[in-house]
Amino acid sequence: MRQSLAFAALALFAVAPVSATVAPGTAPGSAVGLFGAYDDHNAFARILKGTLPATKVYEDSQVLAFMNIHPVSRGDLLVIPKQHARNLMDIRPSVLAHLMQVAQRLAKAQAAALHPDGIFLRQNNGEEADQTVFHFHLHVTPQYAGVPLAKTSYDQPPADPVELARIAGQIRAAMR
């Protein structure tokens, strides 16, 4: 039952695909559609290893949620499994179900803390579907009326870490 709900929920966040520019540091040959090799040096693998910093919002034994360093809106965050899973094709169903439950908790906390007018979830698979980091991740993105989403670009400087920490603290406080 949980698996069915998780897969049904994922179907709700389909977005028109566009070809992606892969993240800096992606290993050559790892960005090859839906079934490429897992790159254990991708940005999210490095965050999990502690060799790349992240502004954490939530963590348990299966998942990690952190602020998007290139946010498309105020409060934009990512939820990733701790297991190596390149995309939806690789993630264990039980981990996916848990990740969706965490995403729901985070969305409720974003709503309480940041007062957006909407929240959208996005999960991309393969570079043709705009996946740029080849580790499964779910975007939990607040949307504000009249404020268009920013275009994520690795050419832009990262968000202010002090501001990300402040917003992360607001979301964490609303999770209690």
Catalytic residues: 137
Query: Hey, CA dihedral for 63, 154, 115, 171, is it positive or negative?
Result: positive
| Backbone angles phi and psi of 77, in degrees to 5 | -135, 170
> Tokens 């993630």 map to which residue?
91
Identify the DSSP state of 35. Answer: G
> How open is the CA angle 101-21-156, to the nearest 5 degrees?
85
